[in-house]
Amino acid sequence: METDLADNLIHRDLNWLSFNARVLQEAQDKENNPLFERMKFLAIYSSNLDEYFRVRVSQLRQMKRVEKSIRKKLALKPNKTVKQILAIVKEQQEAFGKIYNEEILPELAENNIVLVPSEKFTNIQAQLANIWFVAHIKNELETKLIDPSKDKEIFLENQSLYLCVTFSDSKKLGFVKIPTDSNNRFVDLGKVSDTYHITFLDDIIRYEIDNIFNSSTVDGVYEIKLSRDAELYIDDELGGILAERIYKSLEQRQEGQPTRLLYDAAMPKPVAKRLRKLLNLGKIDMMPGGRYHNFNDFFKFPDLTNNPKLHYTSKPFIKHRTLDKAKDFFKAIAEKDQLVHFPFMSFNYVERFVEQAAEDAAVTHIKISLYRVADESVLTTALLKAIDNGKKVTIFIEAKARFDEENNITWGRKFEERGARVIYSYPRIKVHSKILMIIRQEQDKAVRYAYIGTGNFNGETSKIYCDHGIFTAHKKITKELGRVFRVLEGELIIPRNKHLLISPFTTRRIFEKLIHNEIEAAQAGKKAQITAKMNSLEDPDMIQLLYKASQAGVKIRLIVRGFTCLIPGVEGLSENIYMTSIVDRYLEHGRIYLFHNGGDEQMYIGSADWMTRNLDRRIEVLTPIYDSDLFAELKDILVLQLADNVKARIQDAEETNAYVKQKTGDKRIRSQYEIYDYLKLKNN
């Protein structure tokens, strides 16, 4: 573990690998995760790692370009960090291969599903493979033949799969792009004696490789995949419409600087060397792997057996006790704040709220911030309907939401064309808040209704992300939220607020004040406690303040799903900080912050983690929970997560990722399942 000894901080990029190791642990958990779900965790691990190399490792590579004297002053050691990253990833990749080959493949076979490599095709399978090749692949193949003595380089598309082909009578290299964009990665080769046979698209191409190059001298076929820098590096000082510049620069994702070549470890060293030179890579950029890459395709692996035992048991949406029966959402929300929890409940409650607003003659304005816009959905349709019905619709589109820029901007243009006021990102700051406000004319007064959440307005991701959202008509909360939207609309520079936490204006200051209050209570010999759940913990100042609170005797309990730079449980520094991480069936995404506050507990939920970017460089909104019933409900959920002894891992200085042990006599608590049962009972 690399730490800054002066500040007692773990390097964020190294600890992120510890998080991805927890994902890999899920792929091993035969007791709690069915076979196809474990395969999905392999896919998640692979997808996570791809993005990590495209973004985080790319950034470290950019640091290497900084003048050495400046790097020294800033204590930047990108070379050392990259070497540590590669060593950890290599170890994890070996574990990945072992899980796949020694656990997943044998268990698939036990369930009458066999993955057949090309060299083991039977005559009938070979005929089927040839038929498939001619019908679906042959006319789409992109091939190249490179002569290293003449050709000095080759361009490979970002994240695309290729077969690199060698010949016994030539130094030339052949390249075949595997057309996974237009074909399923997995091909059904038929059922024999109750056993289903499946092969990779890659293997069908391997089987035909002699015909593809019209050569009988092919002596090696090795799969490769190149990852390129995914950051856009847009100069925000140039002026103009930021969204337009992002839209035009998206092609850089295909042409960006290479960051990693994943290649079949069976490739001979001389061939790997030739390939490295053709791609202008350094030795550090070469990552040996297995026969197959792009395991994120396992999200779509077919279950031809339709065996329910190979999947999680379905959990139907819980019907919200009030909103499900409500014919008038405005009346229900005016009477009492309403809380929803995803994926245990349907995102349809948010969609219905907007649908009703679109049709309600009394509604005058709808304002919403969209960070990751879903493809055409009930929500987007409702917003378009509201525009057609003459509502004043204001939509803030975050044009810099990584990997969603193009879709976000496309939808922004659709809304604009229909008549909405669409506002795009500001230079140097993202809008990450999950906020919606509807203004309704009631008895000659403009009444505000609001929704504030921890997750995106996206019906698809709401099915797999654990998030919370509150509907409220609280006058002070909605008034302050109105000011947030005025900031987004350029009418205010700083929003005055006493209730909401709004980044980059007050969130840091209020959190620091709340922590200092706990420190003062502990120093006075009173009960002092902080409980916080978030995705990532990185901000150095917040961490140092938590260390100070721990040293004062404040009991600090953290749940951090992703990476952390804080080192918990160190005597004299953080012995009063206990941290766990929950990785399970759903992605833990909700942020909940609870402070004992001298017995008058304060709780906030919202979009911000304790990261510098969330506190200082993004528009974030967190709301206090004032309704006593909803406060108790969220606290009960938090307590269940704190008690998890099935899927919680202990975060310690050694980054062991050890599971929380179930003590003798204790109830087995898998918090996501316990929360589902709790909410089901509560909403009966």
Amino acid identity, position 178: I
Q: Are strands 161-167 and 170-177 parallel, antiparallel or unpaired?
A: antiparallel
307 marked as part of a ligand binding site: no
Point out the catalytic residue in the list 11, 432, 474, 596: 432
| Distance separating alpha carbons of residues 543 and 299, to the nearest angstrom | 37
Is 402 assigned a ligand-binding role in the annotation?
Answer: yes
Peptide bond into 343 cis (omega under 30): yes
Assign 535 to helix, strand or coil.
coil
In angstroms, the first-to-last Cα distance of the chain is 48
Provide Rg for the chain, Cα atoms. 27
Say how far apart CA 79 and CA 64 lie, in whole Å.
7
For residue 341, say whether it is annotated as part of any ligand binding site. Answer: no
- Is 508 among the annotated ligand-binding positions? no
- How far, in whole angstroms, is CA 467 from its chain's centroid? 13
Query: What is the residue-wise DSSP string for 643-658?
Result: T--SSEEEE-TT---P
- Ligand-binding annotation for 589, yes or no, is yes
β-pair type (161-167, 186-192): unpaired
Cis check for the bond before 504: say yes or no (omega within 30 of 0).
Answer: yes
Helix (H) or strand (E) holding 393: strand 392-397
- The C-alpha angle with vertex 224 and arms to 222 and 225, in degrees rounded to 5, equals 170
Of 361, 346, 352, 309, the closest CA to residue 332 belongs to 352
The reply to whether 465 sits in an annotated binding site is yes
Q: Can you tell me the distance from the alpha carbon of 277 to that of 585, in angstroms, rounded to the nearest whole number?
A: 43
Whether 341 is catalytic is no
Q: CA-to-CA distance for 614 and 362, rounded, in angstroms?
A: 36
- Say if CB 644 and CB 671 are below 8 A apart: yes
The annotation places the binding site at 48, 372, 402, 465, 561, 589
The annotation places the binding site for ATP at 48, 465, 561, 589
Q: Give catalytic residues, as residue numbers.
A: 432
The annotation places the binding site for Mg(2+) at 372, 402
